[in-house]
């Protein structure tokens, strides 16, 4: 993508009513449409979505394909796609506006800041869809299932809130299994190292992102992990 196209998208997305951005890592300020500061620290449900429906996050959402399709399927749930790359968010947010989907928003911030923008226990479910696996051992703390990130999610997820991971990376999949097994508060609910080998066990696994389609064309196996991080079964 050319620099000009990126700049155009950054400018456009600033006018969108469904996109919120945190520009400064040193503060918790969010800006929305036309750069206006917004404060949803008392809950996105009441203050943005105007309802008390469950809230689902998609982390590293990219173009937001998963959040968009989930929002279409579940109009009585709210969805927020989170990513740091504004040009990607532009695409998902544009689709949402064109389709008049009122149960989806996008948050542009670093995922390690996620607990700054939600109440404790506000989130019902998290999807992590094809994140960068950061294969170098020196960058393992940047993996979205590392202990540091798990603790951030623990601050915002409900007691029985579920985390879903879809990945094509064997290394990230095995790392995630080991991380969860070593955390006494975590509990694995389901795991499969090749979801398309048999009939899908969960209906929403059939949603395919841009990256998943690429991985399938390369004959990669898609792996899925479903787990709790606030389990009472220690």
Domain boundaries, the chain: 1-112, 130-234
Question: Is 69 exposed, middle or buried, given 0-12, 13-18 or 19+ CB atoms closer than 10 A?
Answer: middle
Percent of the chain with pLDDT over 70: 97
Q: Which CATH architecture has domain 1-112?
A: 3-Layer(aba) Sandwich (3.40)
Instruction: Give the pLDDT confidence of 102-153 residue by residue, as tens digits.
Output: 999 999 999 999 999 999 999 999 999 999 999 998 999 999 999 999 999 9
More confident residue, 104 or 11: 104
Work out the pLDDT band at 9, boundaries 50, 70, 90.
confident
Told to judge if 83 belongs to the known catalytic residues of this protein, a careful annotator would answer: no
CATH 3.40.50.150 fits 130-234, yes or no: yes
Quote the pLDDT of residue 86: 82
3-class SS at 55?
strand
Quote the pLDDT of residue 232: 56
Strand order in the sheet with 55-59: 37-38, 30-31, 19-21, 104-108, 78-83, 55-59, 123-129, 157-167, 223-228, 187-192
Q: Write phi, then psi, for 13 (nearest 5 degrees).
A: -65, -25
Quote the pLDDT of residue 3: 61
Instruction: Give the pLDDT confidence of 68-89 residue by residue, as tens digits.
Output: 999 999 999 999 999 998 888 9
Quote the pLDDT of residue 141: 94
Quote the pLDDT of residue 234: 45
Quote the pLDDT of residue 4: 53
Place of tokens 């918790």: 28
Instruction: Give the pLDDT confidence of 157-178 residue by residue, as tens digits.
Output: 999 999 999 999 999 999 999 9
- Catalytically annotated residue among 39, 46, 132, 183: 132
- pLDDT of 1 > 60? The answer is no
Q: Among residues 142, 130, 125, 141, which one has the least CA distance to residue 227?
A: 125
Work out the pLDDT band at 13, boundaries 50, 70, 90.
confident
Predicted TM-score of the model (pTM)? 0.94
Topology agreement, domain 1-112 and domain 130-234: yes
């Amino acid at each position: 993508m050319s620099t000009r196209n990126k700049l155009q998208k950054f400018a456009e997305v600033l006018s969108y009513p469904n996109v919120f951005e945190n520009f400064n890592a040193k503060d918790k300020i969010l800006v929305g449409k036309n750069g206006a500061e917004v404060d949803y620290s008392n809950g996105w449900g009441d203050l943005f979505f105007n309802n008390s429906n469950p809230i689902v996050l998609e982390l590293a959402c990219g173009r937001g394909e998963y959040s968009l399709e989930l929002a279409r399927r579940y109009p009585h749930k709210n969805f927020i796609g989170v990513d740091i790359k504004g040009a990607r968010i532009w695409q998902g947010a544009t689709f949402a506006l064109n389709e008049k989907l009122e149960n989806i928003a996008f948050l542009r911030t670093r995922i390690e800041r996620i607990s700054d923008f939600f109440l404790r226990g506000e989130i019902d479910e998290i999807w992590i869809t094809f994140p960068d696996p950061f294969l170098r051992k020196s960058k393992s703390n940047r993996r979205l299932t590392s202990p540091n990130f798990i603790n951030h999610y623990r601050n915002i997820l409900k007691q029985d809130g579920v985390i879903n991971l879809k990945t094509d990376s064997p290394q990230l999949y095995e790392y995630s299994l080991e991380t969860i097994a070593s955390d006494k508060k975590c509990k694995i609910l389901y795991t499969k190292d090749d979801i398309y080998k048999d009939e899908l066990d969960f209906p929403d696994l059939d949603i395919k992102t841009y990256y998943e389609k690429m991985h399938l064309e390369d004959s990669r196996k898609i792996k899925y992990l479903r787990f709790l991080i606030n389990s009472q079964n220690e």
